[in-house]
Structure 1
Amino acid sequence: MARGEWVYNGRGIWCSYKRTTLIVCLINIVVVLYVIHNLYNSLYMYPYNDSQSTFRYTPDQIRKMEESIQIRKASEPVELIKLVKQLKKGFLREDKVVELPQNSKQKLITEILARLRGVDARANATQKLEAVERWRKEKIKEAKGLVHGKTLNSTILPEEASDIARALSSDWADLAEEMGLWIPVEVINKEHDDKPDGEEEFDSRILPGRQLPPECHAELHTDYGGGAVRWGLTHHKASAYECCMACLDHAKRAKPGELKCNIWVYCPSETGCYSPDIYEHKNQECWLKYDKKPKLNFKDRYSESYRNAHPNAPLIVPWVSGVVSV
């Protein structure tokens, strides 16, 4: 074993390296244990003591906390919360708009027009609105009766009764807008006849836009009837040519079972066009229609007897129309 020799006061002291190492290690262990002891006391003992003193509430403090909780619950706006929930449900219902098939919409449109035709020609807008409102209520009653099996000889299909009742009730505004139902406060069509004597009565000027091809069969001062497959109130075209092309395109794109456009009616007049209905017809309206046997409503000019019955009617038929082959 290796040994070292130290000299002290003339005497030699022998000490082994192993004994020195053991002494140093013992000192280090004692230091480490002391440090761990101090860390343990600072991290665990003190927070524990603090927590014991922090969460000790007196009975009076507990009573006050319970009272504050009761006051907070009592002050909640219960009625307001219920109202907000009802509004949310209403908004969710409104978002789910009923989508009716095109043939069902067409039936409703036909019935509304029939009801309006039965109104006196001199009736004002309020009377016309009342007539439509009476029809709507009758139709809702008819549809609901059909749902419950209490209605016979109805024009409504049983499988569509529920949707029609809802569409005419909660979704009536959206449905009316989609069908183009709009009754103006007052419709006045005035004709300014300032042509010199002897000049041709009919306007023979060339229609604006591209020249119409032969397949459009365009007829000036002509208004054809038929069921609308596209409402002109919301369907405007820049020229009669584009209106005719829209009809031909509609016929090509129609799905099996759908009505194909075979009649187009266009308003080229900048001051609007006249028609014996509830609407105010404006320039560039393009009506796409279908009729198995197309029939004329008016040709060239309105008769004197008709103008006596309809004072707002002009002398000349302002529309230009055409019957196409599909």
Structure 2
Amino acid sequence: MARGEWGYYNGRTKWCSYRRTTLVICSINIGVALYVLHTLYNSLYTYPFNDPQKAARYTPDQVRKMEESNHIRKEAQPTELIKLVDELKKDFSREEKKLDLPSHLKHQVIDEIVQLLRSLKSSNATVQNEAIERWRKQKLKEARELARGNSISPTILPKEAKILVKALKSRWDDFRDEIGLWIPVAIPNKEHDDKPEGEEEFDSEILAGRQLPPECNTERHTDYGGAAVRWGLTHHKESAYDCCQACLDQAKNAREGEKRCNIWVYCPSEGGCYSPDIYEHKQQECWLKYDEKPQVSFKDKYSESYRNSHPNAPLVVPWVAGIVSV
């Protein structure tokens, strides 16, 4: 091969070397990559969904159909059911927010109110409410002092005093409902007024529910006193049998130091049961009580002298009671 031809091939080899080829390919790749990035960057500003007018274009007929669909969907909603559910939620929420006042403190408050109303010797609702309001303000003042630690009480702890302050101040209405405090309108109980004066047919009445066992020592038309183990206003049972059984169960399961039920008092009357206190006692009330030496409060009939001083008292004692024997 001539020298000239060799020089030609040698020059072409240098021009097409691997280094030059690599640089060319890399340059092309970089150019392609820059172009792709440029395209993606521009698409962020030109993508239709960034412009609501370009995102979707609907015809008037399509818009009308969508509006009709939304209207039908709203009309199909169970609005009454939703309202009912909301009310139930509020009721559950209200139940959850009940005051966690210790039972001994709750009973202490109830006893104070009962003693206050008895001392008034007046059945006028206005007088009673005014007296209760004065008591509430005085009790609230005492509870605040206890909560701050400025005074000491053998029965109320500072922590309990804080709950009592809340009950007497911001939750007074709820607390009244919880303890059953309200001033009822006196309505004479006509339950047995249609019987002749001397009629003695007490045992002819039939108590609903299962037959009571001997250990209940059932006494009809009888009311016993005693310290309340379970407050009957909020403790209802289907029958006298269930009430007696509740007393037996409480006595069996009572903790050490806790009063054990030995007296049960039940209201079987559909019209409610009379009692000389401020409460309206309704059917199925079940009072569990304790007394070291149980004593009868009323038996068979209310005396004529008692009914003269208590015009609302019926002729016959409506309660059923018993002293349990375990």
Regarding TM over 0.5, the answer is yes
Q: 1:301 to 1:261 in 2, by over 3 A?
A: same
1:110 corresponds in structure 2 to 111
TM-score (normalizing by structure 1):
0.69
1:276 corresponds in structure 2 to 276
Deviation track 1:206-259 (CA, whole Å, cap 9, x = no partner) reads 322111111111111001111212122221111111100001101111111212
Give 1:108's aligned amino acid. Answer: V
Using the TM superposition, give the Cα deviation of residue 190 of structure 1 relative to its aligned residue in structure 2, in angstroms: 2.4
Q: 1:22 to 1:137 in 2, by over 3 A?
A: same
Secondary structure class of the residue paired with 1:170: coil
TM-score (normalizing by structure 2):
0.69
- Say whether 1:180 aligns with 2:180: yes
Whose Rg is larger?
1
Alignment of 1:198-277 (within 5 A): 199-277=199-277
Give 1:102's aligned amino acid. Answer: S
Q: Is the 8 A contact 2:219 2:322 kept in 1?
A: yes
Aligned residues: 268
Query: Partners in 1 of 2:195 and 2:306 — Cα distance?
Result: 23
Using the TM superposition, give the Cα deviation of residue 320 of structure 1 relative to its aligned residue in structure 2, in angstroms: 0.5
1:157 corresponds in structure 2 to 156
Query: Partners in 2 of 1:215 and 1:164 — Cα distance?
Result: 40
Give the fraction of aligned pairs with identical amino acids, expressed as a percent. 57
Q: Is the 8 A contact 1:251 1:262 kept in 2?
A: yes
Alignment of 1:78-97 (within 5 A): none
In proportion to residue count, which structure has more helix?
2
2:319 corresponds in structure 1 to 319
Give 2:111's aligned amino acid. Answer: T
- Say whether 1:35 aligns with 2:36: no
Using the TM superposition, give the Cα deviation of residue 139 of structure 1 relative to its aligned residue in structure 2, in angstroms: 1.3
Q: 1:294 to 1:45 in 2, by over 3 A?
A: same
Using the TM superposition, give the Cα deviation of residue 187 of structure 1 relative to its aligned residue in structure 2, in angstroms: 3.8
Secondary structure class of the residue paired with 2:321: strand
Query: Partners in 2 of 1:197 and 1:189 — Cα distance?
Result: 16
Deviation track 1:70-108 (CA, whole Å, cap 9, x = no partner) reads xxxxxxxxxxxxxxxxxxxxxxxxx87653322222211
Structure 2 gaps of 5+ residues are: 42-95
Q: 1:247 to 1:24 in 2, by over 3 A?
A: same
Q: Is the 8 A contact 1:209 1:238 kept in 2?
A: yes
User: Over aligned residues, Cα RMSD in angstroms?
Assistant: 3.7
Q: Is the 8 A contact 1:237 1:243 kept in 2?
A: yes
Runs of 4+ aligned structure 1 residues displaced above 6 Å come to 12-17, 19-22, 43-48
Q: 1:194 to 1:147 in 2, by over 3 A?
A: closer
Using the TM superposition, give the Cα deviation of residue 166 of structure 1 relative to its aligned residue in structure 2, in angstroms: 3.3
Give 1:103's aligned amino acid. Answer: H
Q: Is the 8 A contact 1:223 1:296 kept in 2?
A: yes
Using the TM superposition, give the Cα deviation of residue 302 of structure 1 relative to its aligned residue in structure 2, in angstroms: 0.9
Q: Is the 8 A contact 1:97 1:171 kept in 2?
A: no
